[in-house]
Amino acid sequence: MNLPGKNVKFPLSGHALTRVGLLAVGFALCLGGCAPIPAGPEEYSAGRARVVLPSTDWEDLGASNEVLPLHPMPAAFPLQTRAVGLRGANKELLAVILVQTNRTNAARGLTLWTGDCAPQKDLWVVDVAAASPIRIDCLRFKRSANQDDWMEKSYPALVRWMDEHRAEVKGPYSHVSYRFATDGGAYVNVNAIVDQRLLSPKPRNNEEFLAAGLPAQKWSLQVAEAARISAGMVDGFFAVPPFPLPVPNK
C-alpha cells in the first residue's frame, strides 16, 4: 500500500546542516519554492520518504507502522518501514532493503539519541557524527554477513522479520546498515541485505582480490549520502543507487 507524502519540511539544526553537505543545504534553503524531484522507474513511500529505485525489477515487500526494534529509539517515536526486494532470473531474492523513517513531517522538539557507532572486528564502520550525543550518522558494512550467525546475533529483529515475510536472501550476502538522525527529530534507518555477486566482483588475481571490496564500500557510501540528503528534501526523495554489478543471469 503506497501512502502519499506531505510536502512539509523538517527543520534542520545547525549541527545537521554542517554534515548534510552542500547539495542538501541547497535544497533545504529552497524548500518553500523547490519542486519535488520527478520519480524514477519505480518508487514507494516509507513514511515521509519517497524510496525511488533504480529499475523496475524491484518489488514491494510491504509497509508497516510497527517500529522494528533494530536500534534504541526514543519513546513514542512514530515511524514507518517499507521493504523492497530485487529478484533474480529464477525469482530468487537477491537483495532486500528496508527503509525506516518518520511517519510524517510533523516537527519534533529537541531529540536525544542513544546507541553508538563503535568499531567492530571485521566490520567497516564510518561514524561521521563522531559519537555526538545529539545526532547520528553511522554507516556499517559487513561483507560476509551470513557467516557464523552474525546476522542472528547482531540484528535478531531483522532476521525474524525476514523469516516471517519469507524475504530471505539465500546465497552469500553482505549487510549494509545506515542511520541518520538530527537533534530536530529527523530519522532515516536503512538496512540492505545484498547478494555478494551484486557488490563484489570475483577476483582473478591478487591485485583484483585486494580491490574486490571497493565497489561494495562505494555503494554503501552512496546509500548513506542518498539517505542523508533525503532528510532535508521537501518530499523525502531517497534515490537508491544501482548496484555496481549486474544481476546474475543464472
Task: Scan for cell 550467525, then name that residue.
Answer: 149
Residue 234 within any structural domain of the chain: no
* Radius of gyration, CA atoms only, the chain: 18
Q: Which residues contact 14 (CB under 8 A, 6 or more apart)?
A: none
In this prediction the pTM is: 0.80
215, exposed or middle or buried, with CB in 10 Å at 0-12, 13-18, 19+?
middle
Residue 238 within any structural domain of the chain: no
pLDDT at position 100: 93
For the chain, the domain total comes to: 1
pLDDT at position 205: 73
pLDDT at position 54: 92
Residue 59 within any structural domain of the chain: yes
Residue 83 lies in domain:
14-216
Distance CA 150, CA 154 (A): 6
pLDDT at position 64: 87
Residue 230 within any structural domain of the chain: no
pLDDT at position 189: 93
Residue 112 within any structural domain of the chain: yes
pLDDT at position 74: 65
> Would you write out the chain's pLDDT as a tens digit for each of its 250 residues?
333 333 333 333 444 333 434 333 333 333 333 445 555 568 899 989 999 999 989 999 998 887 776 776 666 678 899 999 999 988 899 999 999 998 887 767 777 777 678 888 899 999 998 877 778 899 999 999 999 999 999 999 999 999 998 999 988 999 999 999 888 888 999 999 999 999 988 877 777 666 778 899 999 999 999 999 998 888 899 999 999 999 988 7
Residue 27 within any structural domain of the chain: yes
Residue 55 within any structural domain of the chain: yes
Q: First CA to last CA across the chain, in angstroms?
A: 31
Q: In what order do the strands lie in the sheet with 42-46?
A: 42-46, 49-53, 237-239
pLDDT at position 38: 52
Residue 101 within any structural domain of the chain: yes
